[in-house]
Amino acid sequence: VPRVKAGTTRRARHKAVLATTKGHRAARSSRYRVAKESMLHALDYATRHRKLKKRQNRALAITRINAAAREHGLSYSSLINGLKKAEITLDRKSLADLSIRQPSAFAKVVASAKAEL
Amino acid sequence: MASKLSHSIGTHTRLWYLIDARHQVVGRLASMVALLLQGKNKPIYHPSVDTGDHVVVINTGHAVLTGSKWDKKLYRHHTGYPGGLKEIVAKQLHQKNPTMILRRAVNGMLPKNLQRKHRMRRLHLYPDSAHSHALNITHQLPGPCPVFKTLSDYSSEEITSFPDIVTRISHL
C-alpha cells in the first residue's frame, strides 16, 4: 500500500470529538486524548441516565403522592388500590402534580378512592 | 390550570414541630422524627432541596425502651486505637446524657448523605419539659405510640363510679 499521510483528516476527527466535550472541566474540553475519554463517559452516562430519569421521576412522584395521601389519612398503597377500584386512570405524574398545584382536586380524587375502599 | 394559588406562606417555610417523648417508644418516635426532618410528609418534597422542618422533642429522659433493652442494648464505638472498642449499656448512656439515645436513633434513620448533619442540627432534644423554642413552635404533634392513662390520671369520682366487675364475677 503506498504511503498515506494523515493530512487534514486527523484534525477533523479531533475537532469532532472536542465539539462534544464543550463545558467539560480543564483539559477534558481542550486536549484530544483526555477529551476522547471524557466524551465516551459522557455518552455512556447520557444513555444510562435517560432510562434512569424515568425511574427517578416515578419514584419522586410516588413519594409525593404518599405524603399528600397521608395528609388525607390514607397510605399510598391504599390510595392506589382505591383508584384502581374506582377505575380512575390518573397516572402518578398527574396525581403528584395535582397534589401540589390543585390540592382541592386531589382531595376529590382521594375521596373517590376512599369511597371504593 | 396549574397554579400556585393554593400555596401559602407556610408551604415553603420551615415549620417547628413539638413532640412529647413521654411514654413513646424510642425507635418508633425516631422513625417519625426522621420523616419530619427530611420533609417527606410534604407533597413538595424533593431530594435535592432540604424541605425538612425543625423538630423539638421534650421529655426524652422519659422515653421508653421495650423488653430488657435498658440492660442489654449496647452502644459501641471504636476509638481508633488497638483494643479501643468502647461499649456502653443503654441505661448508663441514658444516665450520662438522657438525649443521646434518641439522638443516635434519629441519626441512624436519616439517609447517610451530606444533608444529614444539617437535618440533625434542626433536631432539638430536651430531657425534660423545659425548652427555649416556645416562640417558634407552629404545631404540636402526638407521638406514634398511644399514651395510656394511669390510675393517677383518673379523678376520684371516676374511680368510685367505675362498675364493680370483680365482685359481680365472683358471684357466678
pLDDT per residue over A59-87, tens digit each?
A: 999 999 999 999 999 999 999 999 999 99
ipTM of the shown complex:
0.85
pLDDT greater than 50 at residue B97: yes
Q: What is the pLDDT of residue B127?
A: 97
Nearest C-alpha neighbor of B6 from the set A72, A104, A71, A67: A104
What pLDDT is recorded for position B3?
67
Contacts of B35 in chain A (CB under 8 A): none
| pLDDT tens digits, A96-115 | 999 999 999 999 999 999 99
DSSP class per residue in B6-24: T--TTTSSPPEEEEE-TT-
Contact B138, B17 (CB under 8 A): yes
- A72: chain B residues, CB-CB within 8 Å: none
B8 at the A interface (CB within 8 A)? no
Beta bridge mates, B56 = B18, B124
List, in sequence order, every residue forming a beta bridge with B25; answer none if it has no partner: B64
**Minimal-distance CA residue of chain A relative to B45:** A64
Q: Is there a contact between B2 and A101 if contact means CB atoms under 8 Å apart?
A: yes
Note whether A67 contacts B46, CB cutoff 8 Å.
no
pLDDT tens digits, one per residue of B25-48: 999 999 999 999 999 999 999 999
Find the residue in B nearest to A67 (Cα). B41
Please indicate whether, in this complex, the C-beta atoms of A60 and B4 are within 8 angstroms of each other: no
List the single residue in A with minimal CA-CA distance to B11. A100
Widest distance between CA atoms in chain B: 71
Cβ contact, residue pair A104, B45, below 8 Å: no
Give the confidence band of B1 by pLDDT, cuts at 50, 70, 90: very low
Tracing cell 365482685 back to the chain, one arrives at B167
- Specify the pTM: 0.87
